[in-house]
Amino acid sequence: TLLVPISHVLFRSAYIMDVKPIIEKAHKVGATVIIDGYHAGGIVPFNVTDLNVDFYLGGVLKWMCGGPGGVFLYVRPDLVKKYEPKLTGWMAHKRPFEFEVDEIDFRDDAFRFLNGTPAIPNLHAIRPGIDIIAQVGVENIRRKSMRQTAKLIEMADAAGYEVTAPRDPERRGGAVALNPPHAYEVSRELLARNIVIDYRPKAGIRISPHFYNTDEEVQQAMDAIAEILSSGAWEKHATSKAFVT
């Protein structure tokens, strides 16, 4: 085995993978591990040094409240000089402003993994969200998330909706996917009412309360699902499919 790519949190079920023993097992057979942490950063506390992971990548679009264009890659320090990216750009060069196009002399630091010109406006735009997450604290966010997602599951069970999220709070990320009848159409009506959720096939409606969401808002979302089903408001969305779900 050469490479083990895994997700830290699965996007459909929000199941938190126990990645540390996977990393340890992979290293024993000489494999390199790449973790996709897009659904973990900002909601699930973790430490890349403690995990001893080789590569950890993610972005700030989701739980880190940073918006599009902010992606990060962690490379274990002892591996930085070992790897040379196949897809690269001028910013990975030790002397980028010499514009030496024949061969790249890779930098010795993390910048060797850069491509072309960074999206500077995006990087400035994402900073406030990251600062807020740091101020609130991921540990605090996690505690609140576990409580609110447990409440969502409790209400879904009471309503008879299928739940695809893990029941074990230690293995559950920040989202709860519910699969009520006509889930796709219900999701469209929720969005029309400015209740921001999303829909994923084979999972259902993903509800993802964050640190700024109140318990009342969580209740309102569940009440809205019940009302949409009972009133038949979902039916107006039954004849079309949106490109983005």
pLDDT one-digit tens code per residue, 9-25: 999 999 999 999 999 99
Can you give the pLDDT at residue 241?
A: 86
CATH assignment, 138-237: 3.90.1150.10
Q: Is the pLDDT of residue 245 over 90?
A: no
Angstrom distance (rounded) from CA 102 to CA 202: 48
Instruction: Name the burial class of residue 78, with classes exposed (0-12), middle (13-18) and buried (19+) by CB atoms within 10 angstroms of its CB.
Output: exposed
For 3-136, CATH gives 3.40.640.10
Q: What is the pLDDT of residues 121-170, one digit of tens each?
A: 988 999 999 999 999 999 999 999 999 999 999 999 999 999 999 999 99
In the chain, CATH 3.90.1150.10 sits at 138-237
- Record the pTM: 0.91
Task: Say if CB 26 and CB 55 are below 8 A apart.
Answer: no
- 24-82 tens-digit pLDDT: 999 999 999 999 999 999 999 999 999 999 999 999 999 999 988 889 999 999 999 99
Cβ–Cβ under 8 Å, residues 245 and 184: yes
d(CA 169, CA 85): 38
From-to residues of CATH 3.40.640.10 in the chain? 3-136
